[in-house]
Amino acid sequence: MTPEHLHHLLQAVAGGGTAPEEAMQQLSGLIEGTATGEFTPDNDLVLDLDRAARCGFPEVVYGPGKRIETILDVFSRQHAAGQDSLLTRANPEQLEAVSEAFPEAHVNPLARTARLSQESVDLGRVVVATAGTSDRPVAEEACETLRWMGVSAELIMDVGVAGPQRFLSRRHLFQQADAVVVVAGMEGALPSIVGGWVDAPVIGVPTSVGYGASLGGFSALLSMLNSCAANVTVVNIDAGFKAGYVAGLIARRRSSPA
């Protein structure tokens, strides 16, 4: 049930055209109707088609461990329901299968994503910046998530603190952003630097890039969590999707009419 359907139902009850008991019957099936499919050994999918109505965006497919048949089933059902699809952390075989089944899908091997969008919009603006080129796969995942959400994503590469003049020469590109996603490994210092130059929320993404003492991204994670820049918040290690999704929510909310 979409918000529009719920609004019409409530109006009908208020106007006397629908009895409260009838409305209760319709609402009682709301939770049950959110999931489609029944688990069997051959069907391991219970798809939440109502998530877009509840949360604003459809269910996203996390690739690891998923059968190709399951992924294609999700894309097919979402497409039939008029919803966009996004696959993350996919392996090459999964990406190839999606590309063959849905030639119109956008596949990004570096981001390990595939997205199927039925219309393109650009609401808001998010800048995604990387400390180094080794951080690009995570940044690409954030960008693909934003584009799936219909948000304009601008990728700015290699502005890490080892060469601070690189950020300063491009800091004008960060102006007027609704949110900024900063992807960094090693010591994870870049979000604090960016946070001191922009008036937007900064979402730090620690990556597992770095030598032994980086501990697979934990050093960058702790550095970002300890940032003294008040506008910096942090997501999990290598969580490009999560950062992109949160930034997209911020950008869409800020760009929507009051």
Binning pLDDT at 50, 70 and 90, where does residue 34 land?
low
Q: Is the pLDDT of residue 46 over 50?
A: yes
What proportion of the chain, given as a percentage, has pLDDT over 90? 64
Mean model confidence pLDDT for the chain: 88
pLDDT, tens digit (0-9, with 9 covering 90-100), for 176-222? 999 999 999 999 999 999 999 999 999 999 999 999 889 999 999 99
User: Comparing C-alpha atoms, which of 108, 61, 66 is closest to residue 86?
Assistant: 61
Binning pLDDT at 50, 70 and 90, where does residue 117 land?
confident
Predicted local confidence at residue 253, as pLDDT: 87
Predicted local confidence at residue 55, as pLDDT: 87
Predicted local confidence at residue 158, as pLDDT: 92
Q: 219: which residues sit within 8 A by CB, 6+ positions away? A: 186, 187, 188, 210, 213
Which residue ranges form the domains of the chain, and what is each CATH number? Answer: 37-119 (no CATH), 125-253 (3.40.50.1970)
Lowest mean pLDDT among 139-143, 159-163, 237-241: 159-163
Calculate mean pLDDT across residues 104-131: 91
Calculate mean pLDDT across residues 39-60: 79
